[in-house]
Chain A
């Protein structure tokens, strides 16, 4: 019944000793929206990169409508109508948003001169469709990670394509942005474009896709019909056994046993008063008690990440006071912040989170070593510490000596989150800690965060994954357009109440900004 569209036939690929794909065969019907899911390191990105002409398979073939296709360069794939959004979010920081979108495929007039006006206009149109709050002339280095992700999507949408491939395009996005994106994708589908979608957020997969293919350890498991398959079956197929106990229903986020309501000691671990950094955010006041996990939610561009960056000394505020353990601190650099007992799990693992020249082991133990201030590095201790981390977080790596670029995106993220969780700062700032991490590992990371909080650490977590915020946070702060719009107790909040605060101009609660 499947009309032959895109067909993978016995595709295999090994990286050294690591067998990333072991003969994967399946078919995607033309015009279908097809999802590809699996645990971190299952081989999804590798498969998509083969389709995009970036990686050459060791064996196997691809065909389109029964005809064999073979791309040896990304350029060929583009010319054959394969539009691709990469998981790694590759941008040109030195170019404008417009130039990023048209890189390699600029519009020119008949003299070969770049047609800047046409490109700007098209960019403007795409940014409007996806509701990206940036202008076409903004330099890409000033675009936030979430917006950069949308720009990457715009880049794939800027040109006509037959197959649109999206590798985790929504990891930094909240439901509101995902809606816009899916709206555009749905319109493309009506024009006959085939969509291949990879995501760890099963609800999104169910919303967008008709069929779901599961990969596990580089092997094809099965293709499921959305209509007849409950998501539990998908999770079971992904992990290859019964899903871990508390991994829940469709939201795919673990629920925690109701944690004891933390006592508020006299001095909060982190106190922020009237913090402003225009135009990103203004007059933000809140506090986090030791042992408390405070979730911060807001749409893309609401100033969430900027607040964390300012607290951690990556940017200078215009006004406001910050106190840690009741002591006012003046953070002028990240070092000041670290000295004051703050740590940040950054949002962008490629740019801010990892040392690509260092081994997995060194990446994992670096913050710990830096904190203990040991000049001399003891090999054995490091090895044990790193090995324990790898196991706790189920990091899939052949050995501890690999550099992070040889790991899958989700496994890289586990390093970023894990290395800071191993230290015990007074205040841990987490920016999208489980971005691109699969269901099981997400559960582990949540456990680690909860565990550290129980031991007295204060956590401020920004996440665009609302179910995650709801599951983990004791209190939820909601940001909109640079202002703190309200505060909800974690226990009573629902997706709806949080989204209402984040999107509409109603202040349900008292305005927490202190500007009342």
Chain B
């Protein structure tokens, strides 16, 4: 039987707990309230992490099939623009505008999978192209302006009784739970793992490899678009250059959460935990005096250290 700490999600969770413990200790105030360990800050971390975390679920799924999705940042940005356009310019309801925003993700997913499955482009190239086009579309629509959603959004509003601040993290947790079950307990998930493990074998086993890949990219697109809607609401803006470069942080979240870039291995729950690990770093590092110029370096080192530690643990577990 596997030891508990060898279960991937558990070891990622342990890293997160250690990280929080470290910053709690390091930033312990000599007097007054704790700058890091308080409800307001926790909520802030959760809120911003969910933008990465929701998209990281999709990134993990795509990576497990043996592919990669570089378009998530662009999808998030364009979704904020489209949502903003319909909400502010066309004066639609927020729900209807958000649904239009989701179309951005759906279209990106369909385009990527058409290029990859139909045209047989490598996923890196296909999604790189989609990333450029979808990002560019945002600039064309906004012409360097931005949509100010905050003016029209109600203050202190609630969604089914939950304060809006708590909605993004709850959405992230609900999606992570749903996809974790889909990946582990349903045929669809098994097919995703099989395609990533050995594509030829999957084909010979009668799996519809093209269809499986298409569902993976469309899911990733839709999840990135949900992140985009969340960002638009949290930030109160629809702007073409939002979430610039997020795709790499999103992929890094999935990898830190135990997803192997060679495909066939990984977990969506781990990806969300990975996003939280980065969320905490992004929040806590600026609070350390003098660390301002080092935070990118530290984040980079963290990725390497965590993945190396993970590989050592995996090897131990196998021996």
Q: Does A90 contact B (CB under 8 A)?
A: yes
Complex formed: what's the CA distance from A94 to B264 in Å?
6
Q: Across the interface, name the chain B residue whose C-beta is closest to A114.
A: B185
- The answer to whether B186 touches A92, judged by C-beta atoms less than 8 angstroms apart, is no
User: Which of A90, A93, A155 sits near B264, CB closer than 8 Å?
Assistant: A93
- The 0/1 profile, CB within 8 Å of A marked 1, for residues 198-221 of chain B is 101111111110000000000000
Complex formed: what's the CA distance from A170 to B279 in Å?
54
- The answer to whether B190 touches A106, judged by C-beta atoms less than 8 angstroms apart, is yes
Q: Does B15 contact A (CB under 8 A)?
A: no
Complex formed: what's the CA distance from A465 to B194 in Å?
33
Complex formed: what's the CA distance from A93 to B194 in Å?
9
- The answer to whether B187 touches A92, judged by C-beta atoms less than 8 angstroms apart, is no
- The 0/1 profile, CB within 8 Å of B marked 1, for residues 79-105 of chain A is 100001010101111110001000111
Complex formed: what's the CA distance from A54 to B200 in Å?
10
Contact segment of A16-24, A70-78, A206-214, A381-389 = A70-78
Would you give the shortest CB distance from B284 to chain A, in whole angstroms? 35
Question: Can you name 17 A-B residue pairings with CB atoms under 8 Å?
Answer: A73-B206, A74-B203, A74-B205, A86-B204, A92-B201, A93-B264, A94-B193, A94-B196, A94-B197, A95-B193, A95-B264, A103-B190, A103-B201, A104-B191, A104-B206, A114-B187, A155-B205
- The answer to whether A90 touches B198, judged by C-beta atoms less than 8 angstroms apart, is yes
Q: Does A113 contact B (CB under 8 A)?
A: yes
Q: Does B318 contact A (CB under 8 A)?
A: yes
Nearest first, the 10 closest Cβ-Cβ pairs linking A and B are A90-B201, A94-B264, A92-B197, A75-B206, A94-B197, A104-B205, A104-B207, A78-B206, A104-B206, A103-B205
Q: Which residues of B contact A91 (CB under 8 A)?
A: 198, 201
Q: Does A451 contact B (CB under 8 A)?
A: no
Q: Does A249 contact B (CB under 8 A)?
A: no
- The answer to whether A75 touches B187, judged by C-beta atoms less than 8 angstroms apart, is no
Would you give the shortest CB distance from A138 to chain B, in whole angstroms? 12
Complex formed: what's the CA distance from A142 to B203 in Å?
23
Complex formed: what's the CA distance from A99 to B265 in Å?
14
Would you give the shortest CB distance from A7 to chain B, in whole angstroms? 23
Would you give the shortest CB distance from B189 to chain A, in whole angstroms? 8
Q: Does A250 contact B (CB under 8 A)?
A: no
Q: Across the interface, name the chain B residue whose C-beta is closest to A75.
A: B206
Q: Given known contacts A90-B205, A113-B185, what 4 new A-B pairs fall within 8 Å (CB)? A: A93-B197, A93-B264, A106-B190, A114-B187
Binding site secondary structure of chain A: loop
- How many chain-B residues does the 8 Å CB contact rule pick out? 22
- The answer to whether A112 touches B186, judged by C-beta atoms less than 8 angstroms apart, is yes
Q: Across the interface, name the chain A residue whose C-beta is closest to B1.
A: A137
Q: Across the interface, name the chain B residue whose C-beta is closest to A92.
A: B197
Q: Across the interface, name the chain A residue whose C-beta is closest to B64.
A: A94
Would you give the shortest CB distance from A108 to chain B, in whole angstroms? 6
Complex formed: what's the CA distance from A79 to B265 in Å?
29
Q: Which residues of B contact A86 (CB under 8 A)?
A: 204
Would you give the shortest CB distance from A10 to chain B, in whole angstroms? 26
Complex formed: what's the CA distance from A510 to B82 in Å?
82
- The 0/1 profile, CB within 8 Å of B marked 1, for residues 230-258 of chain A is 00000000000000000000000000000
Q: Which residues of B contact A142 (CB under 8 A)?
A: 318
Chain A residues in the interface with B (C-beta under 8 A): 52, 54, 73-75, 77-79, 84, 86, 88, 90-95, 99, 103-106, 108, 112-114, 142, 155
- The answer to whether B202 touches A104, judged by C-beta atoms less than 8 angstroms apart, is yes
Chain B residues in the interface with A (C-beta under 8 A): 185-187, 190-191, 193-194, 196-198, 200-208, 264-265, 318
- The answer to whether B186 touches A114, judged by C-beta atoms less than 8 angstroms apart, is yes
Complex formed: what's the CA distance from A403 to B277 in Å?
45
Would you give the shortest CB distance from B207 to chain A, in whole angstroms? 4
Q: Which residues of A contact B264 (CB under 8 A)?
A: 92-95
Complex formed: what's the CA distance from A62 to B198 in Å?
29
Q: Across the interface, name the chain A residue whose C-beta is closest to B260.
A: A94
Given A90-B200, A142-B318, CB of A95 within 8 Å of CB of B194: yes
Q: Which residues of A contact B186 (CB under 8 A)?
A: 108, 112-114
Complex formed: what's the CA distance from A79 to B207 in Å?
12
Q: Which residues of A contact B196 (CB under 8 A)?
A: 94
Complex formed: what's the CA distance from A104 to B194 in Å?
8
Would you give the shortest CB distance from B122 to chain A, in whole angstroms? 15
Complex formed: what's the CA distance from A88 to B205 in Å?
13
Would you give the shortest CB distance from B210 to chain A, in whole angstroms? 10
Would you give the shortest CB distance from A9 to chain B, in whole angstroms? 24
Q: Which residues of B contact A54 (CB under 8 A)?
A: 203-204
Q: Which residues of A contact B205 (CB under 8 A)?
A: 74, 90, 103-105, 155
Q: Which residues of A contact B193 (CB under 8 A)?
A: 92, 94-95, 99
Q: Which residues of A contact B318 (CB under 8 A)?
A: 142
- The answer to whether A103 touches B208, judged by C-beta atoms less than 8 angstroms apart, is no
Q: Across the interface, name the chain B residue whose C-beta is closest to A107.
A: B187
Q: Which residues of A contact B202 (CB under 8 A)?
A: 92, 103-104
Complex formed: what's the CA distance from A196 to B86 in Å?
63
Complex formed: what's the CA distance from A84 to B204 in Å?
9
Would you give the shortest CB distance from B254 to chain A, in whole angstroms? 16
Complex formed: what's the CA distance from A105 to B205 in Å?
8
Q: Which residues of B contact A114 (CB under 8 A)?
A: 185-187, 190
Q: Which residues of B contact A112 (CB under 8 A)?
A: 186-187
Q: Which residues of B contact A155 (CB under 8 A)?
A: 205
Q: Which residues of B contact A105 (CB under 8 A)?
A: 205-206
Q: Which residues of A contact B198 (CB under 8 A)?
A: 90-93
Q: Which residues of B contact A73 (CB under 8 A)?
A: 206, 208
Complex formed: what's the CA distance from A112 to B197 in Å?
22
- The answer to whether A95 touches B197, judged by C-beta atoms less than 8 angstroms apart, is yes
Complex formed: what's the CA distance from A94 to B195 in Å?
10
Would you give the shortest CB distance from B7 to chain A, in whole angstroms? 14
Complex formed: what's the CA distance from A82 to B289 in Å?
69
Would you give the shortest CB distance from B28 to chain A, in whole angstroms? 43
Q: Which residues of A contact B204 (CB under 8 A)?
A: 52, 54, 74, 84, 86, 90
- The answer to whether A94 touches B200, judged by C-beta atoms less than 8 angstroms apart, is no
Complex formed: what's the CA distance from A75 to B187 in Å?
15
